[in-house]
Amino acid sequence: MAKPGFIISAHLGQRQQVVELAVELERRGFPFVFCPHDYSPILNAKGADPPPYDALSLTTAIIQATNTIKVGTGIAVTYTRHPAEMAAAASFNHELSDGRFILGLGPGHNGILTRYKIPTEKPLGHMKNYTAQVRTAFAEWPQPPIIWATLRKKMTTLTGEEADGLLANNWALSKVPEHLSVLSGDQLKGDYIRGAIVPAFVGDRTEGLNAIRNVLSFYTTMQNYVEYYHQAGFTEPAEAAKAAMLAGDRAAARAAIPESMADEMGIVGTAAQVRDKVEEWQAAGINWLTLSSLQASGTQYDNILNIAKAWD
C-alpha cells in the first residue's frame, strides 16, 4: 500500500508551522501535499469568516523548505488570477521545485467568489478556456502537470480530455469506480493523477464521525455538492442538512448526516482501520489519496501528524 498525501492549509498564525509540517511529512516518507485556496470549513464551523490565504504562496514556501515531496495547489481558484499570471507563478514553482510542482485548478465556489464579488461563467467552458490560456501563456516555459478539481460526471469527463489529472472532493468510496469509468484505459492504469480529498480521523470513532459530519454538512451550503450527495444516494440527509444549515442550526445539520454517509466519504478509526480504509480507496482506483484533518480542536500540525503516525 502506498502512503497517502495530505491537504495542508495556511491558517492565520500557523503559516510557519505548516511549512514545518510539510518538512516533517517529507521526513516521514509521505509522497505529496496539496495546498488549498482561501478555504477553511473549521473556521466557518466556529462561526468565523476564514481569513484569506493563497495556495500558490504556500506551495512556494514549502518547495523552498523541502527536497523530495511533491507539492501542488489543491485547488488554485481560476477567477482570482489572470491565466498569464497563473502560468508565471506555476512556472516559477515548477522550476524552483525541480519538477515537483503540480498545478491544481478549479473555479471555486460561492464561499470564495462572493467574497471577491466575481462574476462567474459556466464551469465546463470556463475550465477548458482558462486552461488553454494558461498553456498558451507558458509558451516556451517548462510546464507542470495541470489537474482539475472535479465532482460530477461532466467535469470528470472533460478533465480526462483536457488535464493531466483530477482531484475530487467528497466522493463516496462505493461510487469511485463509476466516477473514474469515464477516463481512458491508459488513464486508469498509468500515472494519470486520480486524486481524492477525504477527511480522516485517527482515534475515538464517535469524535471522528462528528468531525466528518461537520464537514459534510458544511458542504450542503453549496448546491453542486448537494446534487452530488443526491447522486451518491444520500438525498434525504443532504436536504435535511441543507435546511438546517439555512436555518443556522449547525448541530441539526450534523445530526442529519448518517453514519453510513460519513463512512462512505470519510475515514475514521484506529490506526490499523485507517490504513485499511486508505487501501480500499486505492483499490477503487485513487492513486493520489489526499487526507484532510478537520478536527475542530488542536492545531493543524498536531492533527495531521496524529494521522501520519498511523504509518509509523
pTM: 0.93
**Residues 127-143: what's their mean pLDDT?**
92
Amino acid identity, residue 274? V
The answer to the question of residue 233 being in a domain is: no
CATH number of the domain that 130 lies in? 3.20.20.30
Answer whether residue 45 shows pLDDT above 50.
no
**Residue 38 banded pLDDT, cuts 50, 70, 90:** low
Three-state secondary structure of the chain: CCCCEEECCCCCCCHHHHHHHHHHHHHCCCCEEEECCCCCHHHHHCCCCCCCCCHHHHHHHHHHHCCCCEEEECCEEHHHCCHHHHHHHHHHHHHHCCCCEEEEEECCCHHHHHHHCCCCCCHHHHHHHHHHHHHHHHCCCCCCCEEEEECCHHHHHHHHHHCCEEEEECCCHHHHHHHHCCCCHHHHHCCCEEEEEEEEEECCHHHHHHHHHHHHHHHHHCHHHHHHHHHCCCHHHHHHHHHHHHCCCHHHHHHCCCHHHHHHHCEEECHHHHHHHHHHHHHCCCCEEEEECCCCCCCHHHHHHHHHHHHC
What grid cell was written down for 250? 449547525
Please check whether residue 112 lies inside any domain of the structure. yes
- Quote the CA–CA distance of 235 and 189 in Å, as a whole number: 32
List, for residues 140-177, the tens digit of each pLDDT value. Answer: 888 899 999 999 999 999 999 999 999 999 999 999 99
Residue 185 lies in a domain: yes
**Cα separation, 50 vs 109, whole angstroms:** 14
Residue 48 lies in a domain: yes
Whether residue 122 lies inside any domain: the answer is: yes
Give the pLDDT confidence score for residue 13 in this predicted structure: 79
Virtual torsion, Cα 134, 139, 143, 149, nearest 10 deg: 10
Instruction: Please state the domain count of the chain.
Output: 1
The boundaries of the domain holding residue 188 are: 5-200+285-311
Mean pLDDT of the region 69-88: 94
Predicted confidence band of residue 42 (pLDDT cuts 50, 70, 90): very low
Query: What is the pLDDT, as a whole number, of residue 43?
Result: 43
pLDDT at residue 258 in the model: 97
| Position 294 pLDDT exceeds 90 | no
Q: Between 142 and 195, name the one with better pLDDT.
A: 195
Q: Cell digits for 148?
A: 482539475
Please state, rounded to an integer, the average pLDDT across all residues of the chain: 91
Residues in the chain: 312
Residue 50 binned pLDDT confidence (cut-offs 50, 70, 90): low
Q: Which residues contact 286 (CB under 8 A, 6 or more apart)?
A: 176, 194, 195, 196
In a domain, 266, yes or no: no
In a domain, 9, yes or no: yes
For the cut 80, the answer to whether the pLDDT of residue 230 exceeds it is: yes
> What mean pLDDT is predicted for residues 256-284?
97
pLDDT greater than 70 at residue 302? yes
The CA distance from 71 to 211, in Å, is 26
Q: What number is the average pLDDT over the span 212-220? A: 92
pLDDT at 41 over 50: no
